[in-house]
Amino acid sequence: MKIDQHLTEELTRVAHLMADAARDVILPYFRSDTLDADNKLAGGYDPVTVADREAEAAMRAVLMQHRPDDAILGEEMGTQAGTTGLTWVLDPIDGTRGFVAGTPTWGVLIAVGGEAGPVIGIVDQPYTGERFIGTPQGAALIRADGRRAIRCRAARPLSQAIVFTTFPEVGSPAEGAAFRAVAQQAQLTRYGMDCYAYALIASGQVDLVIEAGLNAYDVQGPIALIHAAGGIVTDWEGGPAHNGGRVLAAANAGIHAQALEILRASVAS
């Protein structure tokens, strides 16, 4: 979906208001002795906290004030229909396991766009005070000391690449094997960073993030951010990834092609 400069500025303004509102709600709970988590997954552990729920409610309140006719898809409160053709996709705390564990690798994810995917995206880390934003005008990192443009890394061989995923098992056994086929050719593999790993791609620190089993709200903010920073995000077949599933995020076309070839061959075997 193409949006003009005026609308881009308006949507960006509202996205910042939403991220600010989520920060205000979440930070008092982080590393708090009183934080409780409910488990959403029978037979496993998928936590949700009061901070998740209150942060999404705060972001929705901003939308009701400033963009009441847009649609919403949120992890905690589901869908709300709209009439403008724009949908806000919200993950109030991506990486709730990390949040519960006290690690600063979780983030607030905000995206807005149409059926073809997001055009504006934010990955916000309230505790470190880092806000990564991607718009049609480019990508930037905003901190207390100012704002600077960011860009993905230049092309390099896979043998020199840094690769991330969140869970060591990645997804199914076959998906895990496909990830390892890429990782064993890379220089360095790291785990457990949740959405922060995508921000590291956009800011030129790492080359690849490979994941499976994602939802739209897990990936739309990072997609818009990485695209604005010059990177590529697709599924493992090279198609669109904004609806979730298997995701390959890459700093540039060269490293994306190398990883995609290995993933395709491994999944097909």
- The pLDDT score that the predictor gives to residue 267 is 82
What pLDDT score does 204 carry?
98
Q: Residues of the chain with pLDDT > 90: what percent?
A: 90
Among 120, 149, 178, give the residue marking a domain's end: 149
Phi, psi values for residue 234, rounded to 5°: -140, 180
Residue after which a domain boundary falls, among 149, 173, 194: 149
What pLDDT shows up at residue 41? 64
Across the range 67-84, mean pLDDT stands at 96
Prediction pTM value: 0.95
Residues 139 and 163 in one domain: no
Model pLDDT, residue 36:
75
Q: Are residues 123 and 28 in the same domain?
A: yes
CA end-to-end span of the chain, whole Å? 36
Same domain, 80 and 141: yes
Query: Which among 122, 149, 176 is the end of a domain?
Result: 149
- Residue 247 CA to residue 230 CA, distance in Å, equals 17
Total tally of structural domains belonging to the chain: 2
Please determine, for residue 154, whether its predicted confidence score (pLDDT) is greater than 90: yes
Q: Are residues 204 and 125 part of one domain?
A: no
Q: Which two tokens stand for residue 246?
A: 């298997």
Residues 11 and 135 in one domain: yes
DSSP state string for 145-164:
TEEEE--PPPP--GGG-EEE
Amino acid code (one letter) for 147: R
Task: Tell me what pLDDT residue 205 has.
Answer: 97
In this prediction, residue 23 has a pLDDT band, given cuts at 50, 70 and 90, of very high
Q: Identify the domain containing residue 173 by its residue range.
A: 158-268
Task: Report whether pLDDT(268) > 90.
Answer: no
pLDDT tens per residue, range 89-114: 999 999 999 999 999 999 999 999 99
